[in-house]
Amino acid sequence: MTQVSIPAASVRLKELTKLFGSTRAVDRVSLTIEPGSMVALLVFSCGKTTTLRMIAGLAEPSAGEIFLDERSITRVPVHRRNIGMLFQNYALFRT
């Protein structure tokens, strides 16, 4: 079996904003995540899921840019990003 190694990438958000009507779900978030880093977003109702959805390409930002290794992926379609997202949903596993 051949093992494939995928190099870690940096992620940078620049003034990322998402509006739902007049509601600002994400307001000018700027963040840099270095390759191989682990980051936790721990704030109640601050747009964490919306931010992750924009990085994965499941939601389009209203403003700002998303960079993967200094290459803008803001307008790259979800199926061409090679980024995954694990949804937090208690209904995923039923007993």
Separation between Cα atoms, residue 63 and residue 28, nearest integer Å = 8
Q: What is the pLDDT of residue 39?
A: 87
Q: What is the pLDDT of residues 14-33, one digit of tens each?
A: 999 999 999 999 999 999 99
Whether 94 maps to a domain, the answer reads no
Q: What is the pLDDT of residue 93?
A: 55
Phi, psi of 55 (to 5 degrees): -60, -45
pLDDT of 65 strictly over 90: yes
Q: What is the pLDDT of residue 73?
A: 96
pLDDT of 77 strictly over 90: yes
Domain with 26 in it: what CATH number?
A: 3.40.50.300
3-state secondary structure (DSSP) of residue 85: coil
Separation between Cα atoms, residue 47 and residue 94, nearest integer Å = 27
The tally of domains found in the chain comes to 1
Whether 55 maps to a domain, the answer reads yes
Whether 45 maps to a domain, the answer reads yes
Q: What is the domain extent for residue 49?
A: 8-34+41-75
Please report which confidence band the pLDDT of residue 90 belongs to, taking 50, 70 and 90 as the band edges.
Answer: low
